[in-house]
Amino acid sequence: MWGLGVLKGFGITIKNMFRPVITVQYPEQRLPIPERARWAVHAVFNEDGTPKCTACLICVKECPDHVLRVESSTRPEGGKHIDTYVYELGACMMCGLCVTACPYDAIEMSHEYELATRDHSDLTRMLLFDVDAASPRRTPREDAAPAPTGTEAADA
Amino acid sequence: MNIAIEILVRFLAMVALLLVNGVVLIYMLRKVLGHLHLRIGPNRVGPFGLLQTTNDVIKLLTKEDLRPAAADAWLFNIAPFLVFVPSFMAYIPLVFGPELAVTRLDTGILVIFAVLSLVPIGIMMAGWASNSKWSLIGGMRAAGQQIAYEIPLLLSVLGPVMMAGSMDPSAIVAAQSGTWFGFIPRWFVLPQIIGFVVYAISAQAETQQTPFDMSEAESELITGFANEYGGMRFGFLYLAEFSNMFIVAAVGTMLFFGGWQLPWIETPGWAAPFVFILKTYIGIFTMMWARGSLPRFRVDQMLAFCWKRLIPISLTWVVVWACIQRLAFEAAIR
Amino acid sequence: MSDGHSWHSDVALEEGRPAYLPRGLKRVPRGVDELATEHLVLNMGPQHPSTHGVLHVLIELDGEEVISAEASLGYLHRGIEKLAESRRYHQVATLLDRADYVSGLHTETAFALATEKLAGIEVPWRASWLRSLAMELNRYASHLVWLGTFGMDAGAMAPFLYIMRDREMILDILEEWCGSRMMFNYVRPGGVFADIPAGLDAKIRAWLRVADSYLDDNDALLGGNEIFQARIRGTGLIDAATALAFGMTGGCLRASGVDYDLRRDVPYCAYGELDFEVPLGVNGDNLDRYTVRVGEMRQCLRLIRQLVDGVPEGDFTAKVPKVFRPPAGESYAAVESPRGELGIHIVSDGGLTPYRMRLRSPAYFNLAIVDEALAGGLVADAIVTLGSLDIVLGEIDR
């Protein structure tokens, strides 16, 4: 009979009216973020507060959107000094390629997801500033990824 | 002097009722639709979001009064009021209690539908004067739709009017007191079930709600005839829509559900308005429920549905009921 | 014309029907040819609630009847194909996620398949299986969005909000798996980026337990509703020959009765091993497109059940050199995306980046039919037909 489907629709909506709502009241309620979720890039530090970064620039070459910028100099006693490690958050698409590529686990995809800022300049972040870079030998990666080869640098 | 004060008080009471209704209904619509759709609805402004509508009204009042450069200024300005005033006037004959009405009119039902039939003129004016193609289509649709659905609406009203033998709302309500066979409330919805279904469908169309919201048709015409309106002009169009909702629900309550009367027991005078408002709001909830459940008709299907289904059904029903009543009456006097 | 007033009966009519008379009007009323009527050209979009993004459709109207329609594209053009020429192979997936943002995994997989074909990489069986599982989840999510917006186009608000409950569960699963809700960057040449996390299959099964009843609810709310049926039956007719001539693929083509599904006809990933049916339509109207897609959703659930039960052991990715230079040449690979045949054509000159990449986006071809399908209907039909084509502007404009 014409109209039975219409009535059934009424039944479905009223049934849903007595179901619990699915809305998550965001600032008060927060859903857990899964382990793999990718948000803003953060620098990783050793226990003594020194950065794990060795200024090898692999992340800089890996980033499809060129949002990472590292300026480093050579220390007189040997080793590298990171002048600035700049991260353009506003242009980052959180693909995670830099973190995958980093041989020293010096950066990570954090779970910081509230990234809106009031000022455009806050979107440019200084991940590391005026610190000595770690020695490449001191912090090898656990899963022993292949070290960067000469061709990698030459291709860039 | 006394009469002047009385008129003023009645007028202000009407305005207050209309405005409060508008604010409450908008809040109710959001909450009902929200919960029908597994959402919460407004809950941020004030406790349970109760001040959300107030907030919106303040926003609409303080918005810049914009008018498209190419719009017909005079018609554009006057159209929202032409939509609003008839629905305001339709409050006059409503009967909220035994002695509670703005004024008692012997042809109250007729007055309500007569003034409501002015609404499409305002809507068409709004659509035309906006000088926008979307608004124009929306306005034309609204005119075609409302004029068509007024016919079954009026025909379906005839049944209760015949049963009560009067067009006076208070007489119709009074005729529904007591019971049939001692236990069925003497509400006209039972013998007039066909009339009531036709009334409910036409009322939904008359207030332009889903599945008959072609004139606004969010997904087709953006907001149809109200496209170019902003600020309080839009507020008036919106308010008129909700006020119409209240009116058709109230008229439905009066005609089919015994108005302010409780079933089986004598209604105390003070409770009458509350009973009436409660019944009306149940009716409004049903309309909102339909709004949240159904897709939209197509404009030609809607008109075909009206002219080819509703009008023949309601016409036949009027004739059939007239025969039944006549025969029953003759049987009674014999 | 004569000098008499046009409404007078002595004014002779010209031969033939005036062009501006509505189709289907058999008898020309006297004098109507002098009535000042003109066609209305409506600019639907790029800002319009029912164009699913930034599509601009020029609609020529006679009253409410659509005389002709023309889609105007390019409002969302981001130059994805050109950008791919300056990105290394594993970086391209980040772009392709943004091409078809409703089902990013399909585009990623098409690119990975084309690259693997080019370089001759053997993909581990487990990787193929995981790709299929992720793609089917994504397909279901994409079809849910279509179902909701299709209902929304027809004025039904409820299904759109109900599908969000369902889709949210899928997106939660995919976020836990791929790290992102829509911009997955998960499928890489050689395999997938990471293995399926432990315990995720339980989550998928928990979702599958409710998915059927949710789909039944939505189907009853839309497809079971007589008003909706009247809206979609017989409107937006596309016959099989026209559909083929316009290069339509996917559900839109199958609704016209052409039995063509890449998953079955040109199996890729794990689809050769799976048991599923391909729903077919008869007339190619909106009702057929609706039933085909809903049938496809039910098949999708069936596929997910098979896939989640039989994840094989093995590696999740093949060994791909860090500095990946495929040999010079070209390759084409296509997957059945929710919208149709989604193909990627790569030309390589042996360098680090593709020399040229071309994305065959199915919705682009499906949208081309817009003039044929919309003409003759009413404005309301035009909206519903446009909704039934399931377009995603990110993929059309690229």
Give the DSSP letter string of C62-95: ETTEEEEEEEE--TT---HHHHHTTS-GGGHHHH
Euclidean distance between CA atoms C300 and C132, whole angstroms:
11
Using the Cβ of B35 and the Cβ atoms of chain A, whether some distance falls under 8 Å is answered with yes
Q: What is the CATH number of the domain that holds C189?
A: 1.10.645.10
Residue C36 pLDDT level (bands cut at 50, 70, 90): low
Contact state of A6 with B294 under an 8 Å Cβ cutoff: yes
Task: Kindly report the nearest CA distance between residue A89 and chain C, in angstroms.
Answer: 16
What pLDDT shows up at residue C346?
92
Closest in A16, A37, A94 to C175, CB measured:
A37
Residue B295 per-residue DSSP state: -
Contact state of B293 with A23 under an 8 Å Cβ cutoff: no
Based on the fold, state whether residues C137 and C203 are members of the same structural domain.
Answer: yes
Closest in A9, A10, A21 to B39, CB measured:
A21
Contact state of B289 with A19 under an 8 Å Cβ cutoff: no
Q: Which of C19, C53, C72 is the last residue in one of the domains?
A: C72
Higher pLDDT, A47 or C26: A47
Choose the weakest-confidence range: B172-186, B284-298, C172-186, C384-398: B172-186
Q: For chains B and C, what is the number of CB pairs under 8 angstroms?
A: 80
* Residue A156 in this model has a pLDDT that exceeds 50: no
Q: For chains A and C, what is the number of CB pairs under 8 angstroms?
A: 79
Residues of the domain holding B280: 3-333
Residue C231 pLDDT level (bands cut at 50, 70, 90): confident
Question: What is the number of residues in chain C?
Answer: 398
What pLDDT shows up at residue A137?
64
Q: Report how far Cα C202 is from the mean position of its chain's Cα atoms.
A: 30
Using the Cβ of C226 and the Cβ atoms of chain A, whether some distance falls under 8 Å is answered with yes
What pLDDT shows up at residue C158?
87
The arithmetic mean of pLDDT across residues B182-195, rounded, is: 81
What pLDDT shows up at residue A138?
52
Using the Cβ of A150 and the Cβ atoms of chain C, whether some distance falls under 8 Å is answered with no
Residues of A in contact with B39 (CB under 8 A): 21-23
Identity at C17, one-letter amino acid code: R
A148 phi, psi to nearest 5 deg? -60, 140
Euclidean distance between CA atoms A60 and A82, whole angstroms:
14
Residues of B in contact with A6 (CB under 8 A): 294
Contact state of C175 with A34 under an 8 Å Cβ cutoff: yes
Cβ atoms B249, B24 nearer than 8 A: no
Contact state of C231 with B297 under an 8 Å Cβ cutoff: yes
Contact state of B298 with C380 under an 8 Å Cβ cutoff: yes
Domain count, chain C: 2
What pLDDT shows up at residue C23?
47
Higher pLDDT, C16 or B14: B14
Choose the weakest-confidence range: B249-263, C29-43, C92-106, C261-275: C29-43
Closest in A2, A4, A95 to C185, CB measured:
A95
Task: Kindly report the nearest CA distance between residue B310 and chain A, in angstroms.
Answer: 14
Q: Which of C54, C72, C90 is the last residue in one of the domains?
A: C72
Cβ atoms C385, C69 nearer than 8 A: no
Task: Kindly report the nearest CA distance between residue C26 and chain A, in angstroms.
Answer: 31
Closest in C95, C180, C225 to A9, CB measured:
C225
Task: Kindly report the nearest CA distance between residue A119 and chain B, in angstroms.
Answer: 27
* Residue A40 in this model has a pLDDT that exceeds 80: yes
Closest in B137, B141, B210 to C155, CB measured:
B210
Task: Kindly report the nearest CA distance between residue B146 and chain C, in angstroms.
Answer: 17
Residues of B in contact with C227 (CB under 8 A): 211, 294-297
Closest in B39, B210, B299 to C378, CB measured:
B299
What pLDDT shows up at residue C14?
44
Residue A10 pLDDT level (bands cut at 50, 70, 90): confident
Contact state of A38 with C225 under an 8 Å Cβ cutoff: no
- Domains assigned to chain A: 47-114+122-134 (3.30.70.3270)
Using the Cβ of A156 and the Cβ atoms of chain C, whether some distance falls under 8 Å is answered with no
Using CB atoms, list chains with 3+ pairs below 8 Å to chain B: A, C
Q: What is the DSSP string of A18-87?
A: TSPP----TTTS-PPPPTT---SEEE-B-TTS-B------HHHHH-TT--EEEEEEE-TTSSEEEEEEEE
Residues of A in contact with B34 (CB under 8 A): 21
Based on the fold, state whether residues C124 and C220 are members of the same structural domain.
Answer: yes
Contact state of B293 with A10 under an 8 Å Cβ cutoff: yes
pLDDT (tens digit per residue) in C95-140: 888 888 888 899 999 999 999 988 888 888 889 999 999 999 999 9
Average pLDDT over all residues of chain C: 84
Using the Cβ of B289 and the Cβ atoms of chain A, whether some distance falls under 8 Å is answered with yes
Contact state of C179 with A151 under an 8 Å Cβ cutoff: no
* Residue C75 in this model has a pLDDT that exceeds 80: yes
Q: Which DSSP helix (H) or strand (E) runs through C206?
A: helix C200-222
- The helix, strand and coil proportions of chain B, stated in percent and rounded to the nearest 5, come to 70, 5, 30
Residue in chain B lying closest to A11 (CA): B293
Residues of B in contact with C151 (CB under 8 A): 295
Based on the fold, state whether residues C26 and C146 are members of the same structural domain.
Answer: no
Mapped onto helix, strand or coil, the DSSP state of residue A106 is coil
What pLDDT shows up at residue B83?
87
* Residue A154 in this model has a pLDDT that exceeds 60: no
Residue C35 pLDDT level (bands cut at 50, 70, 90): low
Euclidean distance between CA atoms B113 and B169, whole angstroms:
13
What pLDDT shows up at residue C141?
92
Q: Which site among C97, C180, C216 would you substitute to test the A interface, given the most A Cβ atoms closer than 10 Å to its Cβ?
A: C180
Residues of A in contact with C226 (CB under 8 A): 2-6
pLDDT (tens digit per residue) in C280-334: 888 888 888 999 999 999 999 999 998 888 888 888 888 888 788 888 889 999 9
Using CB atoms, list chains with 3+ pairs below 8 Å to chain C: A, B
Based on the fold, state whether residues C99 and C241 are members of the same structural domain.
Answer: yes
- End-to-end distance of chain C based on CA atoms, in angstroms? 52
Task: Look up tokens 């950066």; give the residue.
Answer: A107
Task: Kindly report the nearest CA distance between residue B76 and chain C, in angstroms.
Answer: 21
Q: Is the peptide bond before B295 cis (omega within 30 degrees of 0)?
A: no
Using the Cβ of B292 and the Cβ atoms of chain A, whether some distance falls under 8 Å is answered with yes
Based on the fold, state whether residues C152 and C62 are members of the same structural domain.
Answer: no
Euclidean distance between CA atoms A113 and B164, whole angstroms:
67
Based on the fold, state whether residues C66 and C89 are members of the same structural domain.
Answer: no
Based on the fold, state whether residues C186 and C335 are members of the same structural domain.
Answer: yes
Task: Kindly report the nearest CA distance between residue C155 and chain B, in angstroms.
Answer: 5
Contact state of A2 with C95 under an 8 Å Cβ cutoff: no
Average pLDDT over all residues of chain B: 84
pLDDT (tens digit per residue) in B207-250: 888 788 877 766 777 777 888 888 888 888 888 888 888 989 98
Based on the fold, state whether residues C352 and C218 are members of the same structural domain.
Answer: yes
* Residue B29 in this model has a pLDDT that exceeds 70: yes
Residue C170 falls inside a structural domain: yes
* Residue C267 in this model has a pLDDT that exceeds 50: yes
Domain count, chain B: 1
Mapped onto helix, strand or coil, the DSSP state of residue C145 is helix
Residue in chain B lying closest to C51 (CA): B219
Task: Kindly report the nearest CA distance between residue A3 and chain C, in angstroms.
Answer: 6
* Residue A72 in this model has a pLDDT that exceeds 80: yes
* Residue A41 in this model has a pLDDT that exceeds 50: yes
Give Dmax (Cα) for chain B.
72
Contact state of A35 with C177 under an 8 Å Cβ cutoff: no
Based on the fold, state whether residues C42 and C94 are members of the same structural domain.
Answer: no
Q: Angle at Cα B187 formed by Cα B183 and Cα B190, nearest 5°?
A: 90
What pLDDT shows up at residue C325?
85
Residues of the domain holding C61: 10-72
Q: Which site among B128, B210, B296, B299 would you substitute to test the C interface, given the most C Cβ atoms closer than 10 Å to its Cβ?
A: B296
* Residue C16 in this model has a pLDDT that exceeds 70: no
Residue C5 falls inside a structural domain: no
* Residue B308 in this model has a pLDDT that exceeds 50: yes
Based on the fold, state whether residues C173 and C259 are members of the same structural domain.
Answer: yes
Based on the fold, state whether residues C188 and C223 are members of the same structural domain.
Answer: yes
The arithmetic mean of pLDDT across residues B22-42, rounded, is: 88
Choose the weakest-confidence range: A30-44, C4-18, C258-272: C4-18
Q: Which site among A18, A21, A22 would you substitute to test the B interface, given the most B Cβ atoms closer than 10 Å to its Cβ?
A: A21
Task: Kindly report the nearest CA distance between residue A76 and chain C, in angstroms.
Answer: 33
Based on the fold, state whether residues C25 and C168 are members of the same structural domain.
Answer: no
Q: Which of C72, C93, C108 is the last residue in one of the domains?
A: C72
Contact state of C161 with B214 under an 8 Å Cβ cutoff: no
Using the Cβ of B218 and the Cβ atoms of chain C, whether some distance falls under 8 Å is answered with yes
